Amino acid sequence: MPKLIECVPNFSEGRDLSVIRQITDAIESVDGVSLLDVDPGASTNRTVVTFVGEPEAAVEAAFRGIQKAAELIDMRKQKGAHPRMGATDVCPFIPVSNVSWDDAIACAQSLGKRVGEELKIPVYLYEKAAKDPARSNLAVIRAGEYEGFFEKIKEPVWKPDFGPAIFSERSGATVIGAREFLVAYNVNLNTRATRRATSVAFDVREAGRVKTEDGTPTGKKVLDENGEPVRQPGMLKHVKAIGWFVEEYGMAQVSMNLTNIDETPLHAAFAACEEAAAKRGLRVTGSEVVGMLPKKCLVDAGRYFLRRQSWSEGASEEELIDLAIRSMGLNELKPFLPNEKVIELKIAAEAKKSLVKMNLRQFCNETLSDSPAPGGGSVAALLGALGASLGGMVANLSAGKRGWDDRLEYFSGIAVEAQKLKDELLRLVDEDTAAFNKVMAAFGLPKDSPEEKAARFAAIQSANQYAAEIPLTVMEAALRSYPLLETMAEQGNPASISDVGVGLIATRGCIDGAGLNVLINLSGLKDETVKSSLGQRVREISAESEAAFEKISEMVESRIA
């Protein structure tokens, strides 16, 4: 999977749409970046921009946005309701998929260095990127705002992490960092009473409520030895919550910010509100997500609700997302469209044509056409995905078999693993065709001068090696289906043993076919060391495949007989 990081710069302009458009145009000028949301506010005079991309592209896009904001926004004239200290007030990076905190911190540091050195704007690092723990809180850094920073920056303790220790009158200063993904999430209640919603909010939020001697909100406060009120913590960590009445909906809500969705995921917040509401005679009727969220939130929620139903978790991502939407009532107030609300799905929806989005007839028609792609490599990966899918199907059927309830968790785990394998091999269906297209593009490079010929040769060699490595990855992924299929042949639902056999044949076909694609791409390589290494790996996987196939085939035939 590609690395994906989100960046959410806040610019101190929310009224002049021309200025906002020029900033977002600068961000979008970077290849590989997807602009997801632009949210201007007139009263706050502030625009929150959300975009995603691979780390290097995201840093470049953020730099261009900050550069353009410094050109167009004059902080000497800027006024608004929201606290601010610069033309680009804050710019956090948030990991979305396949990105570590080290990656996100490196993005913040790289961007901060460029902004400080090239744009001469003072930069402070915050949250997980903070060099000084005392500066991790954005509110602490921004205290005094633009007007107060002319003197504040002169204090040694407030020397910027990057850039000059002189406050820029026009651009101000910028705070750059790496933080957790924040999900704004509201849970709907069957009441119009703000006070009752607030009580549920106090039950679930981390800060909880102040203890009273009689346990009522109006009772005498319990004090500690220092005379400070004692707080009774709420049910959830990393959750801020209030209760409010929404005139538009005619109902009260518990409005929450989930600041660490790994430790307190979406479904945990929903379940806590259900529990707290029920204790007060209320009922949760649905919920809403404000803004966007990572796919993981809904996939994890779908698995949670399957566990509550004592059912196998080995469902597809599409099924899990649909179950999460229905279970949490995300459609109650307005349609919840995954392709608009889920970051990864919105990016995929805007991407180029994908083979795996075709129906079966379209895929076969495209394969049968006179275009050389998709070819054998993509078809081999599809065979592997079908093999893993059949193994997962048998696991799901076994998990749901009457009388096998004590083995639900075991078979569910196998089905979940099969889903992961299927998804990986489906991704490689498209990746194999993309690799072939890179080879064709390399051959199309100019070759008029010696320099062009050398560049073309290098590009062809690189593309051929990549085109060999992709089907090799297919072989390695498909090889992981054999243990799964063997387990199903031994322990799975006996009525589905023929499905195991078909999955076995598809898996071997995938490995054999992908191996042929590795070898044909190796024939164009001049690097004998690489050719030898990759060729040897093909032979090793093929030998493992044959041994596993023979062993499991005997088991299948024996059980059928």
Find the angle CA(460)-CA(464)-CA(468) to the nearest 5 degrees. 175
Q: What is the CB-side half-sphere exposure of residue 78 using CA atoms within 13 A?
A: 33
| Maximum distance among all Cα pairs of the chain, rounded to whole angstroms | 89
- By the 8 A CB rule, do 391 and 484 touch? yes
Residue 1: the pLDDT is 60
My answer on whether omega of the bond before 374 falls inside 30° of 0, hence cis, is: yes
Mean pLDDT in residue range 446-469: 91
Question: How far from the centroid of its chain's Cα atoms is residue 396's Cα?
Answer: 26
H and E: helices and strands count for the chain: 18, 13
Q: Average pLDDT for residues 187-191, to the nearest whole number?
A: 96
pLDDT in tens, 126-139: 999 999 888 888 88
Contact between residue 445 and residue 455 where contact means Cβ atoms under 8 Å apart: yes
The verdict on 187 and 170 lying in the same domain is: no
Q: How confident is the model at residue 40 (pLDDT cuts 50, 70, 90)?
A: confident
- Torsion of Cα atoms, 53 then 59 then 64 then 68, to 10°: 110
User: pTM above the 0.85 mark?
Assistant: no
Residue 293 DSSP SS3 = strand
Q: What number is the average pLDDT over the span 509-521?
A: 95
Question: Has 82 been annotated as catalytic?
Answer: yes
Tell me the sheet residues that pair with 34: 52
**Domain match, 311 and 197 both:** yes
Where does the pLDDT of residue 198 fall: very low under 50, low under 70, confident under 90, or very high at 90 and above? very high
Task: Give buried/exposed letters for 132-156 (b at 16+ CB in 10 A, else e).
Answer: eeebbebeebbeeebeebeebbeee
Q: What is the mean pLDDT of residues 11-23?
A: 92
Q: What are phi and psi of 4, to 5 degrees?
A: -135, 125
Do 148 and 203 belong together in one domain?
no
Place of tokens 């990746």: 431
Higher pLDDT, 82 or 530: 530
243, 233, 181: which is closest to 205 by C-alpha? 233
State whether 260 and 328 are in the same domain. Answer: yes
Structure tokens at 12: 């101190």
Secondary structure of 452-485 as H, E, C letters: HHHHHHHHHHHHHHHHHHHHHHHHHHHHCHHHHH
Please pick, among 82, 238, 423, 512, the residue that the annotation labels catalytic: 82
**Residues 152 and 27 occupy one common structural domain:** yes
The CATH number of whichever domain residue 543 belongs to comes to 1.20.120.680
For the chain, the domain total comes to: 3
Average pLDDT over residues 479-504: 95
**Contact between residue 92 and residue 8 where contact means Cβ atoms under 8 Å apart:** yes
Identify residue 54 by its one-letter amino acid code. Answer: E
Residues 327 and 383 in one domain: no
Same domain, 118 and 84: yes
Reported confidence tier of residue 267, pLDDT bands at 50, 70, 90? very high
Q: Examine the domain organization and report whether 338 and 425 are in the same domain.
A: no
One-character DSSP codes across 156-183: GGG--SBS-SS-BTTTB-EEEEE----E
Q: Say whether both 365 and 221 belong to one domain.
A: no
Chosen domain end from 178, 201, 226: 178
Q: Which residue range is the domain that position 26 belongs to?
A: 4-178
Show Cβ contacts of residue 20 under 8 Å, excluding neighbours closer than 6 positions. Answer: 11, 13, 14, 38, 40, 47
The CA distance from 161 to 171, in Å, is 17
Lowest mean pLDDT among 55-64, 269-278, 283-292: 283-292
Enter the tokens of residue 448: 């008029």
Q: Above 80 in pLDDT, residue 93?
A: yes
Residue 501 has pLDDT above 70, yes or no: yes
pLDDT in tens, 517-530: 999 999 888 989 99
- HSE, CB side, 13 Å, CA atoms: give it for residue 500: 32
CA proximity to 86, closest of 189, 168, 25: 168
441 and 490 inside one domain = yes
Q: Do residues 449 and 467 both lie within one domain?
A: yes
Q: Which residue, among 73, 32, 67, 77, has the nearest Cα to 51 in the 3D structure? A: 32
* Domain closes at, from 313, 329, 348: 348
Structure tokens at 252: 């009260």
The more confidently predicted of residues 319 and 291 is 319
What's the rounded Cα separation, in Å, for the pair 270 and 493? Answer: 36
Q: Is 80 exceeded by the pLDDT of residue 234?
A: yes
Instruction: Yes or no: say if 43 and 6 are a contact pair by the CB < 8 Å rule.
Output: no
Last residue in a domain, options 348, 366, 395: 348
CATH classification at residue 82: 3.30.990.10
pLDDT tens-digit readout, 331-368:
999 899 998 889 888 877 766 678 888 889 999 998 99
pLDDT of 350 reads: 65
The answer to which of 45-49, 225-229, 336-340 has the lowest mean pLDDT is 225-229
Domain co-membership, 21 together with 8: yes
CATH number, domain of 237, equals 3.30.70.670
CA 332, 335, 338, 342 torsion: positive or negative? negative
Nearby residues of 440 by Cβ (< 8 Å), 6 or more positions away? none
Paired with 126 in beta bridges are 177
- Highest average pLDDT, of 222-236, 387-401, 433-447, comes from 387-401
| Catalytic, out of 161, 300, 430, 432 | 432
